[in-house]
């Protein structure tokens, strides 16, 4: 996340209060964007990822997971379907690697062309219980849209796109535009009372909400079901990369570990081992401290969670938030 215009982000305590009472604005400059065209663009994404996306119509979208052949998470891009293209919002700094991954899997009978348009795209996040209200006040004509779906609008003479996304502090939207219009859109959003927050404030809110992030909870160490991404996996569509492993874990109904929200009794660090009864049972993947107290996300063995054993990390007591 980068500082935009000359606006100063809110101090941490004010950012936390604003997010939970109204809504806040975060810049997501590190998120990448891929544009796929060609008649088989959705078929390609469908056979390479966990979600059933081959029949998406323009204005619709879906979260899907790219996995290795053994079901490990490569990324969780958000797919947006348009009449003549498909767009993939990637994890932070991951667009180039995903573009190369897709190119290696485009075969002679595919009609797919791919562009990395990350540098041409500005991405903002709006989070909080009054996000929809404030976006409507900014001029967006339609804000009540399903999760991951999107709409195009002209606001203040600028072409902008609104996308419903995973809720943080109550609700969530992405607002996207072309890079040349970044400052204009920022001005529109702040003019209706959406204060800018910095990377640390955003990440605290994300962790508190239990939302996994690429490079933290979404890595090659885990499979989508362990990360709680059940809604991003179709168990009825045809084959995709990693399907056999994921289907086997679903059919057996038994996961080795599970991502959980944690309330540490004191601040902890990401990467610290989680212990129960003197043995290692998991690890902290994200951690932060702020106005709402210490928060963390971590993977813990499911047997330990089922048994309700006391957890700790570096001597700090951890409480699981269900």
- Give the CATH class of 256-321: mainly beta
Reduced DSSP (H G I as helix, E B as strand, rest coil) percent helix, strand, coil of the chain, to 5: 25, 35, 40
Beta bridge partners of 319: 263
Q: Does residue 62 carry a pLDDT above 80?
A: yes
Beta-sheet strand order (sheet of 158-168): 150-155, 158-168, 171-178, 121-127, 24-27, 196-197
Domains 1-254 and 256-321 share a fold: no
Question: What string of DSSP letters covers 58-118?
Answer: TT-EEE--EE-TT--EEE-PEEEE-SS-EEEEEEET-HHHHHHHHHHT--TT---EEEE-G
Q: Name the average pLDDT for the chain.
A: 96
Percent above pLDDT 90 for the chain: 95
Task: State the average pLDDT over residues 89-108.
Answer: 97
Q: What pLDDT, on a 0 to 100 scale, did the predictor assign at position 3?
A: 42
Q: How confident is the model at residue 6 (pLDDT cuts 50, 70, 90)?
A: low
Q: What pLDDT, on a 0 to 100 scale, did the predictor assign at position 238?
A: 84
| Rounded Cα gap, residues 320 and 305, in angstroms | 9
Burial class (CB in 10 A: 0-12, 13-18, 19+), 101: middle
What pLDDT digit, counting tens, does each position of 270-306 carry? 999 999 999 999 999 999 999 999 999 999 999 999 9
The answer to whether 132 and 151 are in contact (CB under 8 A) is no
Domain ranges of the chain: 1-254, 256-321
Q: What pLDDT, on a 0 to 100 scale, did the predictor assign at position 264?
A: 98
The answer to whether 45 and 64 are in contact (CB under 8 A) is yes
Task: State the average pLDDT over residues 173-185.
Answer: 97
- Which range is least confidently modeled, 192-196, 237-241, 258-262? 237-241
pTM to 2 decimals? 0.95
Start-to-end C-alpha separation, the chain? 29
Q: How confident is the model at residue 253 (pLDDT cuts 50, 70, 90)?
A: confident
What pLDDT digit, counting tens, does each position of 37-46 carry? 999 999 999 9
Question: Do strands 158-168 and 61-63 pair parallel, antiparallel, or not at all (unpaired)?
Answer: unpaired
Task: State the average pLDDT over residues 149-166.
Answer: 97
Q: What pLDDT, on a 0 to 100 scale, did the predictor assign at position 85?
A: 98
Q: How confident is the model at residue 1 (pLDDT cuts 50, 70, 90)?
A: very low
Question: What string of DSSP letters covers 226-288?
Answer: TTT-GGG--SSS---TTHHHHHHHHHHT--SEEEEEEEESS---TTPEEEETTEEEEEEEEEE
> Based on C-alpha coordinates, what's the Rg of the chain?
20
**149 Cα distance to chain centroid:** 14
Sorted by sequence, the CB contacts under 8 Å of residue 58 that are 6+ apart come out as 81, 82, 83
Q: Does the 1-254 domain belong in CATH 3.20.20.140?
A: no
The answer to whether 114 and 34 are in contact (CB under 8 A) is yes
């Amino acid at each position: 996340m980068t500082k935009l215009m000359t606006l100063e982000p809110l101090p941490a305590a004010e950012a936390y209060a604003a997010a939970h009472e109204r809504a806040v604005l975060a810049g997501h400059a590190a998120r990448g964007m891929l544009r796929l065209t060609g008649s088989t663009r959705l078929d390609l994404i469908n056979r390479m990822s966990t979600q059933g996306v081959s029949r998406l119509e323009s204005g619709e979208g879906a979260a899907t997971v790219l996995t290795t052949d053994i079901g490990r998470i490569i990324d969780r891009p958000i797919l947006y379907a348009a009449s003549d293209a498909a767009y993939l919002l990637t994890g932070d700094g991951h667009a180039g690697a995903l573009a190369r991954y897709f190119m290696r899997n485009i075969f002679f009978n595919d009609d797919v062309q791919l562009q990395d348009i990350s540098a041409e795209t500005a991405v903002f996040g709006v989070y909080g219980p009054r996000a929809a209200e404030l976006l409507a006040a900014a001029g967006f004509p339609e804000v009540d849209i399903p999760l991951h779906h999107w709409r195009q609008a002209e606001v203040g003479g600028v072409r902008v796109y609104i996308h419903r996304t995973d809720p943080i502090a109550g609700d969530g939207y992405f607002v996207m535009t072309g890079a040349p219009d970044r400052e204009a859109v920022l001005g529109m959003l702040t003019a209706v009372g959406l204060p800018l927050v910095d990377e640390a404030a955003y990440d605290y809110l994300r962790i508190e909400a239990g939302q996994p992030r690429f490079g933290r909870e979404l890595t090659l160490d885990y499979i989508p079901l362990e990360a709680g991404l059940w809604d991003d996996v179709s168990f009825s569509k045809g084959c995709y990369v990693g399907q056999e492993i994921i289907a086997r874990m679903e059919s057996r109904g038994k996961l080795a570990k599970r991502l959980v929200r944690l309330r540490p009794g004191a601040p902890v660090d990401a990467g610290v081992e989680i212990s129960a009864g003197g043995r290692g049972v998991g690890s902290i993947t994200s951690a932060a401290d702020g106005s709402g107290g210490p928060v963390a996300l971590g993977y813990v063995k499911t047997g330990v969670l089922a048994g309700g054993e006391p957890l700790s990390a570096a001597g700090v007591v951890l409480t699981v938030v269900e």
